[in-house]
Structure 1
Amino acid sequence: MSPAENDSARPLVLAYYFPNWHRDERNSEWFTPDWDEWHLVRNAKPRFPGHRQPRVPALGYFDEASPGVAEMQIALASTYGVDGFLIDYYWYDDGPYLQRALDEGIMQARNRGDVRFALMWANHQLLDIFPAPDRSPDRLKNGAIGREAFEAMVHHIITEYFSSPNYLTIDGCPWFSLYEVGTFVSGMGGLQQASDALEWFRQQVIAAGFPGLHLDLLVWGFGVLPEAVTVDDDADIVRALTADSASSYVWIHHADMADFPFPQASAQALREAAFADYERLAASLEVPFYPNVTVGWDSSPRVAQSAPFAHGDYPRTPVWDQTPQEFAEGLRRAQEFLREHAPRNPIVTINAWNEWTEGSSLLPDRDHGLAYLEAIREVFGEPRPLDVANLADETIPPSTIDSPVREVR
C-alpha cells in the first residue's frame, strides 16, 4: 500500500510504536515473572517541583498483544490522522524480541487494514535500563548481530510481514528502517560487508515478487542510549549503503544534551535545534529526508526511583514536557519543511505513539486527553469523531498488572 504521490496537501503521518506493553518470555526471565514496562510507568515519581509524573494513561494499563486492544489503537490512529505505525522491531542473534504486540495484536485486529505498518529495526544494544541503576547498566543483548542472524531476520520479515496487504510500500517497495547504522556496519564486519548484506536483502525482496526494497536509514549526530554508535558522515554512509531515504527517530538525536538546562528545558529550543539539523541533512543528503516531530521527552521513569535524578547519561537527561500547542507548532514546521523540499512522497514521522517511559506518547493521558492526537487532525486534517470513553469501557480488558514493581538499586 503506497502513499499518494505528489500530495502536497497532506503528508503520510507515521508514528513510531514501542512494543513493550505486553508479557514477553525474555522479560520474565531477565526481570520478574510477567514483567512489562507499565511497571515503570506506574512506579514513576515527580523528581523536581512541577514535574508531571506519573503519567497516567487514560485508556488504562492494557495488554497490547490483545487483538481487541489493537483494534482500539488502530481506530484511534485512523480517526485522528495517523496513517501508520513504524514498529520498533527487535531481532538479536537468537531471534525476535517483543514481537507479540505485532504478531498477536496488530496483525490479528479486525480493522488492521485501516492503517499501514512497517518495521524499524531497533538494532541498538539492549541494556538493563528498566529501570537504570545508579551505575553503568548491564548489557542484555548485543545489537551488532552477524550475517547469519541477519539473513534469518530477513527471511522471517519477508515471509511474515512484507506480504501483508497493509504493509507500507513506496512505489511498490516494502519500507524497512534501520535504526543504528553504525552498529549494523560493525556487526557485518565493515562497510563493504554491510553494503553486500543489504544488496542481498534487496535481491531476496525482488525474488519474493516486489520491485525492490525501500531502505530508510535513521540519521542522527548525538547518541543518547548508552553504547549508542553514531557515524561521522551521514551523506557518505547513506550513499554507500544505497539508501532510498533518511529519517529521524526523536529530536534529542539532533541536539547536544549538555547545551540545555537540567532538569527541565525549553521545548521550543529543542525544536529549533532539531529543525536546524534537518536543514543540514536535507542539503547534504542525496535522498529525501523525512522530518520527525517529537511529542516530548522525559526518561525519568527509567531511572531507579530510589536513585538521585542528576544530570548525566541516558536516562538522566533533561525533561521537555511539550504542551499540545507546542507539539502542533512542530507539526506545522514539518509541514513547511516538506513544502520547501518537496519530496515526491511526503512523510512525517512522529515520536511516538506510546513511548510512555520516555515522555513521548500520542495516546491520551489524564492530563491532556486526546489533545496531541487532535493536534494532528488540526494541522493535517482527518476529522472523524470518536468516543474514547466508550472505547475504554467496551474494548480494553481490565489491567492484570499485579506482580511487584521491580526496582534496581
Structure 2
Amino acid sequence: MTAAVVVVVTGLGAGDAALTAPAARAASSPAKVTDPVPMIELRTPAGGRFYTLSPREAAAAVANHGFTREPGQAGYWRTSAFSGSQPVFRLRGGSGYLLTASESERSALVRSGSFKDEGVAGHLWATQQPGTQRLLRFSKSGEWRVAVESRQAELTGQGYRVDGPLGWAHPEWIRAGAIYFGTYNPASTDVIAATKRVFGRDGDYWGGVRDFSGSDPAVPKNTQGWDGDFSHLRPAIGFYDDSRPETVERHITQATDAGLDFFQFYWYWDTGRQRPPQRFDASLAAFAGARNRLDIDYSLTVCAHPWGNLGIPKADFTTVADDFVRHFSQPNYLRANDGRLILTLCDRRGIGDGSDTDTQAFVSVVRQRAAAALGEEVLVLGYWEAMLDPAAPARWGTDGAYCGVRIDHEPSYARYAATLPDYLAKGPAQFMRCAAQGFDERPRYPHLIPDRSKIRFYADQSPELFADVLTALRKDIATSRRVSAVDNFVSMYAWNEWHEGGILEPNARDGCRYLGIVHTSLALPTGKPCS
C-alpha cells in the first residue's frame, strides 16, 4: 500500500489543505461544523482499512490511490474537541492504518518505528451519552477495523478480535431540513391581485388555500368541484403573515421541537429592482429578526426562473453573489460536513441565457466573491435535472445535485415511493437526498392556474407512504457507498408550500403528525416525536 502514503500528511483536515488553484484563496472550515459527521471507512488496495472524517481526503484516496468506499459509516464523530470529548489518533503502519484513543499506545507504537503518527482522526465522547454507542477497535492479521459495539458479534464471527474501546459515538446522525416558501405576506401582490380578480376579495395573499380549507368563516369553502377533506389547508397557528418575525419564531420552534436542523429558503431575484422580490425577501428579513433564529441553520435555494422578470442576467452576477455573501457570513448559515457553505439551485434556466456556460460563469462568480470576502469555499448543488443526468454537474460547474419533486416523472405517489431507491442510485456521487411530503396545486385553480388540465396533484398520497419514503432514505444513508460532504443530509419538500401541497408545518387537521413521521422514520437525534 505504498501509494497510499501520500494521501495525507497530518491526519484530519490535511487533505482539505490540498486545494486546487482556483480555490487557493479559500478553504473549507470543518472546525465550524458542530454536528457529528460520518466517519468514512475505505478499504485500501492491500486490504487494510482507512478512516477519515474528510470527504475530500476520502475522494482523493479513491480517485488517486485505488481505495474503495466501504458501505455505511463507522459512527458519527466531531471534527473538533468539545466539552466531555477525547481525541482519537490515526497511525499508519506498513500496509495498514490504526486508530487509538490511548496516548500511551500512540507513543509506544511511534517510538517502535513501526508506525507513523498522522494526527487526530476526530473526537468522541469520553463517556456514554443518550443515543450513543461504544466504538470498538477490532483487529485480524494486521488489519484494524472500527465499528459500533452492536456489530461485535458480527465481526468476531468473521475472525476479528476486540482490541478495546475508542469512545462513544452516535451510530446515526441525520440532518433533516425543509424548504421554506416565504410568500404569505402583504407583498405577495400577484396572489392578492389574482384573488381579487377571481374571488372578489382584496388584500388576501392566502387566496385559494383559504377557499379550499373551509376553515375561515368569512370565506365560503370552494374546492372547485374536487371532492375531499381539505381542512389541512389551514396552518395550526392560523393564516399568518410570514413577514413578521414572531411568525417565523413560531415556525422555528415547531421545526426544532421535531428535530429539524435547517430551513432552505427559496431565493429569487428581481431584475428590474436589482434586489430580491419583496414578497420573498420579507420572510428572510423576518427570519433575520427572529429572536430564536440561531436555533436553526438556514441556506439559500436559488430559483432563477426564465419568466416574470425572475431571471439573473449576466450583468447582475456579481451583485447577486454579494447578496449571497451577506447570508454566508451569518453564524447559522448551513455548512456541509467538510465546512463548505451550501448553495442549491432549484432552477438554473434563468441564469444568464440558461446555457451551461452561463451557469458555470455564475457559479464561478459566487465562489470568487465568497473567497474574496470571507475566505470561504461554497458547495454548489444543482437542481433535480442533475439527478436524471449525472453528467450535468460537471457541465454546470457545480459539485453535485440535490433531488426534488418528481410529479412530472412519477404522477403516482405510490410509484414515487416505490421507485425512490432506484432514483437515488442514479444520482451523482455527491448529492443531497430529498423527500416530498406531497404535491397538490389544486388551491392554485383557477386564479393562479386558469387551465384546469394543467393542475397536478398526487391522488394517492398518504402518511404511511411518506413514512415509507423516509425509511428508504434512512436505509440508503446507513448503507451508503458515496463519498459526499452531505451524505447524511435530507432536504424535504416542504415546510409551507400551501399552494402546492408540500406541507410539513403543523395544520388544523393533522396537527404535527407529519413532523412526527419525520422524527420517527429518520430517527432524528434531536427534538422529540409528536402526533
**TM-score scaled by length of structure 1:** 0.76
Q: Distance in 1 between matches of 2:187 and 2:448?
A: 26
Mark the structure with the bigger radius of gyration: 2
Change (3 A) 1:120 1:306: closer
Pair 1:165-2:331 in alignment: yes
**Distance in 1 of aligned mates of 2:387 and 2:284:** 36
Q: 1:289 and 2:431 equivalent?
A: yes
Equivalent residues of 1:87, 1:118 under 8 A apart: yes
Distance of 1:113 and 1:219 partners within structure 2: 29
Contact (CA 8 Å) 2:317, 2:365: kept in 1 or not? no
1:57-107 CA-partner distances (Å, limit 9, x unpaired): 221001111111111110111110110000011113122112344343111
Q: Which residue of 2 aligns with 1:144?
A: 311
In the alignment, is residue 84 of structure 1 matched against residue 262 of structure 2? yes
Are the structure 2 counterparts of residues 158 and 299 from structure 1 closer, same or farther at C-alpha, using a change threshold of 3 Å? same
Identify if the C-alpha distance between structure 1 residues 25 and 332 changes in structure 2 by more than 3 Å, giving closer, same or farther.
closer
2:408 is equivalent to residue 300 of structure 1: no
Q: Give me the whole-angstrom Cα distance separating, in 1, the residues matched to 2:292 and 2:204.
A: 25
CA separation in 1, counterparts of 2:234 and 2:320?
A: 35
Cα root mean square deviation, aligned = 3.0
Separation in structure 2 between the aligned mates of residue 356 and residue 69 of structure 1, nearest angstrom? 16
Is the CA contact 2:440–2:457 (under 8 Å) kept in the aligned structure 1? yes
Q: 1:332 Cα shift?
A: 0.8
In the TM superposition, 1:176-325 aligns within 5 A as: 176-184=343-351, 186-187=353-354, 190-220=355-385, 234-252=389-407, 255-257=409-411, 265=412, 267-281=413-427, 285=428, 287-304=429-446, 310=452, 312-313=453-454, 316-320=455-459, 322-325=461-464
Greater relative contact order (Cα < 8 A, sep 6+): 1
Conserved in 1, the CA contact under 8 Å of 2:306 and 2:349?
Answer: no
- 1:277 deviates by 2.2
Matched, 1:336 2:475: yes
State the 1:272 CA deviation: 2.1
Mean Cα deviation higher: 240-249 or 88-97: 240-249
Structure 1 unaligned residues grouped into runs of 5+? 127-140, 221-230, 258-264, 389-409
Distance 2:528 2:390 in 1: 43
Q: Which of residues 6, 20, 42 is equivalent to 2:210? A: 42
Cα shift at 1:197: 2.8
Name the CA distance, whole Å, in 2 between partners of 1:309 and 1:232. 29
**Gap regions ≥5 residues in structure 2:** 1-31, 39-75, 77-170, 213-221
**Letter paired with 1:217:** G
Aligned residue type for 2:391: D
Change (3 A) 1:278 1:383: closer
More strand by share: 2
The Cα of 1:355 is off from its aligned counterpart by: 0.6
Question: Kindly tell me: are residues 369 and 309 of structure 1, through their superposed partners in 2, closer, same or farther at Cα, counting changes over 3 Å?
Answer: farther
Tell me which amino acid in the other structure corresponds to 1:381. Answer: L
Q: CA deviation at 1:146?
A: 1.1
Output the CA distance in 2 between the equivalents of 1:104 and 1:279: 38
Question: Structure 2 vs 1, CA of residues 155 and 211 (structure 1 numbering), >3 Å: closer, same or farther?
Answer: closer
2:175 — aligned with what? 12
Q: Which amino acid in structure 2 is aligned with residue 202 of structure 1?
A: R
1:235 Cα shift?
2.5
Distance in 2 separating the partners of 1:251 and 1:376: 19
Report if the CA contact (8 A) 2:414-2:460 is conserved: no
Count of residue correspondences? 345
Counterpart in the other structure of 1:23: 186
CA change 1:322–1:88 in 2 (3 A) is: same
Aligned-partner Cα distance in 2 for 1:351–1:40: 20
Query: What TM-score results when the alignment is normalised by the length of structure 2?
Result: 0.59
Higher mean displacement: 50-59 or 168-177? 50-59
The one-letter code matched in structure 2 to 1:355 is E
